[in-house]
Structures are given as C-alpha cells and as structure tokens.
Structure 1
Amino acid sequence: MAIVKSKILKQLASNYPNFLKKDLKKFTNIILSEIKQALKRGDRVELRGFGIFSTKTQKARISRNPKTGEKVNTPEKKTINFKMAKEMFKKLNNGK
C-alpha cells in the first residue's frame, strides 16, 4: 500500500489537533517543495532517522526497444537515489 499526501495530512491532523488543516497542508507542501528544489540543484537531502535522498546522473547510452529490437538513443538523465538510515533499517527488520 502506498502512502499518499492526504493520508499523511490526516495523520498529522489527528496527532496535532490544535493546528488547522490548511496550515498542516501548507507546511507539508513547503517541506516537499524544498526537498524537490534541493534535489533539482543537485544537493543531498538528509532526514535524520529516515534516510538520505541524492541524485545520480545516468550517462547517455544506446539502448534497444524490446518490442521491435530497434536501437534507440537514450539521453543523459538524473535519477533519485535513496539510502535508508540505520535506525529505519533496524525498525523495519527487528520490529522495535
């Protein structure tokens, strides 16, 4: 099951009932947009206890279309890499 922004907002609203929902939504949007902008600049984003987001560049290459077997030029592109924090790894694997 995927986590969507609306579920995060519901959980935040139930944990912090004294905050308005529109403020929580604005806060969440600011955090996500800052993460996006940092990754776009090529910076690394570290969320302690959760993990690290960084970008890697895939070189341009010649690949092939699996349906037709035709060679296709694939341009250089950036991908997002995520490395889980040790705390998160331990929680997922030990259940603590």
Structure 2
Amino acid sequence: MNKKDFIALFAKNAELKTKTEAEKLVTAFLNTVQETLVAGDGVAFMGFGKFETSIREARTCVNPRTKEKMDVPAKKVVRFKAGKALAEKVNVIEKKAKKGSKKAK
C-alpha cells in the first residue's frame, strides 16, 4: 500500500469529508514521528508498536562479485518493534482446505 492508498483508507476509516483533510493529518503524524526520532527519542503506541533509533556499528563486508573488502561506516537506523496486540493480529494463519480433500458428512 502506498501513501495515496493509505490516505484514502484513512479518510474512509476516520469518516473524513475529504482526502485533503486526511492527507494533512497523515502528513502531520509522519512529520511528528520523524522529528521525534531525529531528536533521539522513541515513539511508542501501546498495543501497536515502538519506533526507535539505534546505532549500527561500523563493519567490514565483502563485495560478492569482486571479493573486495569494504569498510561500512557506523550509522543510525530506525527500528520498529511490533506490539503484542499487533503481532498477534498479524500472525493469524487461516487453515486452508487441501485440494481434493473430502468434507466429512
């Protein structure tokens, strides 16, 4: 789902009159999360998950084509850890009937 599709779904779920209004709200939300992460703080939503930054240490890797060793510098990365409620909803696996199986009478 891209941002345009998300905004349309958000507008529908929030019962907003226009997609423009939904776009303003989504953009404000994303900007606020971004500003908070840039400031070095995490953003947690109970039951949904937590956005936070961490430092990926410098390391040496090997280019698989040339076998050349390269140094990769340390950098900050954004991580998301799903909350328990979200993880449980995502991990529901529906049982599908096997092809050719007969139903019990």
* Bin for the TM-score computed over the shorter chain: 0.7 to 0.9
Structure with more helix by fraction: 1
Identity of aligned residues (%): 32
Map of 1:43 onto structure 2: 41
Report the Cα offset of residue 70 of structure 1.
0.9
Distance in 2 (CA, whole Å) between partners of 1:18 and 1:71 is 54
| TM-score normalised by the chain length of structure 2 | 0.76
Cα RMSD after superposing both structures: 1.8
Alignment of 1:75-86 (within 5 A): 75-86=73-84
Structure with larger Rg: 2
Are residues 18 and 52 of structure 1, via their aligned partners in 2, closer, same or farther at CA, if it must alter by over 3 Å?
closer
- For the Cα contact (< 8 Å) 2:44–2:51, is it kept in 1? yes
What stretches of structure 1 of length at least 5 have no aligned partner? none
Structure 2, unmatched stretches of 5+, are: 94-105
Aligned pair count reads 93
Give the structure 2 partner of residue 14 of structure 1: 12
> Secondary structure, in 3 states, of the residue corresponding to 2:64?
coil
